[in-house]
Amino acid sequence: MSDTNIHTEEHRNDDASKLGMWLFIFTELLLFGGLFLVYSIYRAQYPHNFHEGSLELSVTIGAINTIVLLFSSMTIAMALTAMQRNNKKLAMTMIVVTLVMAVVFLINKYFEWGAKFHHGLYPGSDLMALLERGHLLYFSLYFFMTALHAFHIIVGMVLLIVVLLRVKSNRIHAHKYVLLENGALYWHLVDLIWIFLFPLLYLIS
């Protein structure tokens, strides 16, 4: 405008960064969307096998992980609010809480998968090869979708650790927090996917 506002400001556009993050999130949604599509087609073809398969998963562990992820989604949203209000300490605490929740999620997943592996149920195992087709499809989808989701959790953790370090070194601050915002968006995506994975894999009757 007419303001002679000559700062030595770096060139950046936060709205564009966020739009870029959203475009990436769209590709992620469609990636999982494709898997949900495969799931729904096979579920329609083998309803009984899918039902039996889901009975072998622990609803309790699934529910705990749902609560853990929902809670972590709130804490990372709070970290952003804290950063916007220039409360660096609270922002860092909230990011750390989010990371702890992510670890809790993965530990739960470890025990859940561990029990399946213990029973000889894992991709490529002899038992898997003996299963009925519908059963095999259910467990293949279960392992693939939860593994891909867990991989996203790990990527999200790496991203949040980078964000945490940058908040610590003041490279992210109350006037420049778009990386925290984008990291939070990614974390919410992970939560969003789990919101659909949980009922579809654990709760089908």
Partner 1 sequence: MANNSSHITDYKVLTRVLLVLMFLTFLTISVTSYNLAAFTVTIALLIAGVKSFLVLSYFMHLKYESLLLRILVSIVFVLFALIVLITFIDYSYR
Q: Which stretches of the chain bind partner 1, using CB under 8 A?
A: 12-15, 18-19, 22, 26, 29-30, 33, 36-37, 40-41, 44, 59, 63, 66-67, 70-71, 73-74, 77-78, 80-81, 84-85, 174-176, 178, 184-185, 188, 191-192, 195-196, 198-200, 203-205
What would the two tokens of residue 2 be? 């007419």
130/174 with CB nearer partner 1: 174
Q: Cβ 126 to partner 1, closest distance in Å?
A: 32
> Is the Cβ–Cβ distance between 193 and 117 less than 8 Å?
no
Q: Rounded to 5 degrees, what are φ and ψ at 173?
A: -145, -175
64/128 with CB nearer partner 1: 64
Q: Cβ 141 to partner 1, closest distance in Å?
A: 16
Q: What residue spans of 123-177 are helical by DSSP H?
A: 126-130, 133-168
Q: Cβ 121 to partner 1, closest distance in Å?
A: 23
75/135 with CB nearer partner 1: 75
Q: Cβ 62 to partner 1, closest distance in Å?
A: 9
* Rg, C-alpha atoms of the chain: 21
> Is the Cβ–Cβ distance between 191 and 72 less than 8 Å?
yes
96/128 with CB nearer partner 1: 96
Which candidate, 204, 195, 203, 200, places its Cα nearest to that of 65?
Answer: 195
One-letter amino acid identity for 150? A
Q: Cβ 205 to partner 1, closest distance in Å?
A: 5
What would the two tokens of residue 130 be? 């003996």
